[in-house]
């Protein structure tokens, strides 16, 4: 079994949660792969490019994979599971369901039109610690993806904070409805899910049987 961690939007493999999880896996003698989803250049990246990269990098050997994803990384993890049966388990931290549609709705018609007209829009990149102009192609591409693309059933653990003001926990509740293999744990935390990582790790360890 391979273990893969996907970081969130405008983040990096060096985020606190990613490093914490990697250390925990290392203590068990296991490797947690944390690819840099910014690829060559965050400003030109798209979800399609990220998915192509992940499939070419980690799926070529035909080995089973358990994917842990945070926020947009969680949304990507669901897309990977929809694309390949090699993904056997998912752990999702506050998955950014409906990402493309929700970003467009939050920005509004005028801001979206301006983004398209100018070709880029400034976003703060937490990994780079500076603003980066992200090409419009990113959001146009993102709107082609939905969590509804996952038609098959596989074990999924979702950890979502009830105080999440970035991705409302109700989105995970809706996703879990009618999916018998989804275990949803609502916790007293916000979007960062950094309040009780030790407890979350124990849930993940039990779920992955590591």
Q: pLDDT (tens digit, 9 = 90+) per residue, 51-66?
A: 999 999 999 889 999 9
Specify the pLDDT at position 148.
Answer: 95
**Residues whose CB is less than 8 angstroms from the CB of residue 129 and which lie 6 or more positions away in sequence, other chains included:** none
Most distant pair of Cα atoms in the chain: their distance: 51
CA distance 167 to 54: 24
| Spatial contact of 72 and 8, defined as CB atoms under 8 Å apart | yes
Q: Regarding beta strands 156-161 and 182-187, do their DSSP bridges make them parallel or antiparallel, or are they unpaired?
A: parallel
Per-residue pLDDT, 178: 84
CATH for 2-208 is 3.40.50.1820
Query: Is the whole model's pTM more than 0.95, yes or no?
Result: yes
Mark the ranges of the chain whose per-residue pLDDT is less than 70: none
Q: What is the pLDDT of residues 135-154, one digit of tens each?
A: 999 999 999 999 999 999 99
* Domain definitions of the chain by residue range: 2-208
d(CA 169, CA 187): 10
Tokens of 70: 């945070």
Beta strands in the chain (DSSP E): 2-6, 32-33, 65-70, 87-93, 120-125, 130-135, 156-161, 182-187
| Residue 61: predicted pLDDT | 86
Helices 72-83/47-58 angle, 10° precision: 60
């Amino acid at each position: 079994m391979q273990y893969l961690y996907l970081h969130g939007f405008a983040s990096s493999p060096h985020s606190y949660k990613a490093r914490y999880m990697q250390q925990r896996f290392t203590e068990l003698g296991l490797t947690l792969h944390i690819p840099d989803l910014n690829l060559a250049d965050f400003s030109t990246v798209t979800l399609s490019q990220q998915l192509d990269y992940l499939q070419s990098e980690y799926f070529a050997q035909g080995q089973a994979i358990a994917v842990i994803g945070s926020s947009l990384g969680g949304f990507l993890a669901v897309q990977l599971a929809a694309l390949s049966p090699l993904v056997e388990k998912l752990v999702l931290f506050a998955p950014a369901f409906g990402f493309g549609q929700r970003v467009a709705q939050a920005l509004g018609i005028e801001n979206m039109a301006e983004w398209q007209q100018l070709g880029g829009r400034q976003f703060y990149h937490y990994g780079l610690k500076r603003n980066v102009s992200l090409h419009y192609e990113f959001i146009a591409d993102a709107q082609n993806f939905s969590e509804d693309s996952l038609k098959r059933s596989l074990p999924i653990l979702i950890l979502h904070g009830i105080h999440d003001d970035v991705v409302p926990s109700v989105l995970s509740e809706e996703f879990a409805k009618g999916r018998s293999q989804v275990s949803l744990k609502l916790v007293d935390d916000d979007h960062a899910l950094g309040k009780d990582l030790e407890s979350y790790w124990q849930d993940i360890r039990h779920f992955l049987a590591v």
